[in-house]
Amino acid sequence: MPRILVTSALPYINGIKHLGNLAGSMLPADVYARFERMRGHDVLAICATDEHGTPAELAAAAAGQDVRTYCDEQHEIQKALGERFGLAWDYFGRTSSPQNAELTQHFARVLEDKGLIEEVVEKQIYSIDDGRFLPDRYVQGTCPTCKHEKARGDQCDNCGRLLDPVDLIDPYSAISGSKNLEVRDTRHLRLLQTRMENRLRSWVDAADGWPSLAKSIAYKWLDEGLRDRTITRDLSWGVPVVREGQAREGFEDKVFYVWFDAPVGYIGATVEWADKTGGDWQSWWRTDEGAGDVTYVQFMGKDNVAFHTVSFPATILGSDEPWKTVDRLKAFNWLTWYGGKFSTSEKRGVFMDQAIDLLPADYWRWYLTAGAPEGGDAQFTWEHFQSVVNKDLADVLGNFVNRILRFGNSRFDGEIPAGGEPGEAESWLYEEVDAGLKTIAEHYQAMEFRKAMAETRALWAAGNEYLTRAEPWSHFKTDRERAALGVRTGINLCRLFALVAHPVIPFTADKIMAALGLSGEGFDWPEASAQEILTALPPGGAFTPPDVLFAKIEDDAVAEWSERFGGGQE
């Protein structure tokens, strides 16, 4: 049985995630994991909250809480929201766990023993008014490249350039706003990525499951020349810097940089899972313990690609230990908010808690997957959201299930009818279904989600076309057996549509299966021929029409939401 390890970029702890975060990592990871489980594969889907670093401290301070309490609360909020959206992780852990701290410290020790970490004295911004060194994200200012005025000390979100705080023009403290800053010497640990450059390039060259977006970002970093990166920070919240089990001398008030410990969190969360379930984490992550037959698949937005194709691999490969590295990396562009950026820090856009209070999860899951930002950035507008939901979910899928089950219930007393021999309409349908299922599965396997959704929609549309051709309502009085055949085939189509819908709209799939009296059955990907699939439910089975699966989004709701949430950047 194929074994597939699935991870999503870890959602950061500083507040509820927006729809762009959901669309670019967590949701496609879940859709893919569900599809592979349906194929009978052994899937382990792991995620966690990313809890260390400057933004966590700043967010906790803004909330008037100590950082541990803040992270405890936010982890539970994000976990609960994920469950409401149907994100079926096998485990949702935390980078602040003891397991992750132990692993992070292990990698640091091994890398230093290999000559890939050294102590250095660096110039760093010191805030005289705050009385402390300012880690990179605590410093803001103007980007020296694009002149964006709100660049952070580690990266400019406008142009994507990686920065050091001393690069910023007119820097100021993100804590107090003070410009009373000076550059002082401070001691840190530095990861010597430059010594790994040739090895990393060879590793990227050999990668065979990455879209062009992921490879192009990796090569951009490599072609521009890697820089050795400091992996410690002057913070109190994070993984302590230790050596031989003791606080490292001179590093008592420092922790590891969040981008050093966060990717280790994929492994750390798996160890958490194993500790709680009795699972064997080594068989998923250690190639000397059975992980050699695992296919590791990562999902992330384009802004995280460089860290996962260069920095984290430098840690894993540099250890010279038998760790599993990523096989397939699916990178996404951005979902934009009316052409501008969603922003957690600036509260721009629709966030997961707001979205789930407006409409059930499957509305969002379908829309975000059908319009996944794969080939380029995708723009969210309320009008487009309304159009996609109404056309695809209400008019195509919902209309089909409603039409056939209500007609069958009223004419055949809620029982799958017998009679009739397949004819021209059924032959046409079998060809459509055979071709459609094959294509949908191919797109899922290739992680081409927009294409998979387009073919899923086409399959649903073929069901409506079949009813137009079979016309069971027209034949009921004149040819009852022909009508029975149309209804029976239509009810079997409902089951099929629930199966193909399950990866993306699982709650709706459950409702359809419950209406067919099949709620206790699992979801397996339909591998049989269309003729076998569409005769799987025999005559005599009971069914009950469900309530409306998808209510249409009306214009007045769009107007209300547009006023409430706005349209674009302010």
What kind and span of H or E run contains 80? helix 67-84
Please say whether the beta carbons of 260 and 314 come within 8 A. Answer: no
User: Residues within the annotated binding site for ATP?
Assistant: 344
Please say whether the beta carbons of 199 and 286 come within 8 A. Answer: no
Distant-in-sequence, close-in-space partners of 334: CB < 8 Å, separation ≥ 6? 20, 24, 301, 302, 303, 341, 342, 373, 377, 378
- Using DSSP, state whether 229 is helix, strand or coil: strand
Number of CB atoms found within 10 A of residue 185's CB: 9
Q: Which of 275, 561, 517, 548 is nearest to 406 (CA)?
A: 548
Distant-in-sequence, close-in-space partners of 93: CB < 8 Å, separation ≥ 6? 46, 47, 48, 49, 99, 100, 265, 268, 269, 270, 272, 273
Amino acid at position 336, single letter: T
Round to whole Å and give the CA distance between 444 and 103: 33
Round to whole Å and give the CA distance between 33 and 445: 11
- Backbone dihedral angles phi then psi of residue 11, each to the nearest 5 degrees: -65, 135
Indicate the angle between helix axes 449-470 and 361-370, nearest 10 degrees.
110
Round to whole Å and give the CA distance between 465 and 443: 23
What kind and span of H or E run contains 3? strand 3-8
Round to whole Å and give the CA distance between 54 and 60: 10
Please say whether the beta carbons of 330 and 297 come within 8 A. Answer: yes
User: Residues within the annotated binding site?
Assistant: 143, 146, 156, 159, 344
- Using DSSP, state whether 338 is helix, strand or coil: coil
Alpha helices in 278-376 (DSSP H): 282-285, 305-306, 312-318, 352-358, 361-370
Please say whether the beta carbons of 62 and 119 come within 8 A. Answer: no
Q: Which of 107, 171, 98 is nearest to 135 (CA)?
A: 171
User: Residues within the annotated binding site for Zn(2+)?
Assistant: 143, 146, 156, 159
Number of CB atoms found within 10 A of residue 416's CB: 21
Indicate the angle between helix axes 197-206 and 212-224, nearest 10 degrees.
160
Residue with tokens 């922790």: 255
- 229 in the Ramachandran plot: left (φ > 0), alpha (ψ -120 to 50) or beta? beta
Round to whole Å and give the CA distance between 501 and 512: 10
Round to whole Å and give the CA distance between 561 and 384: 13
Helix, strand, coil proportions of the chain in percent (round to 5)? 50, 15, 35
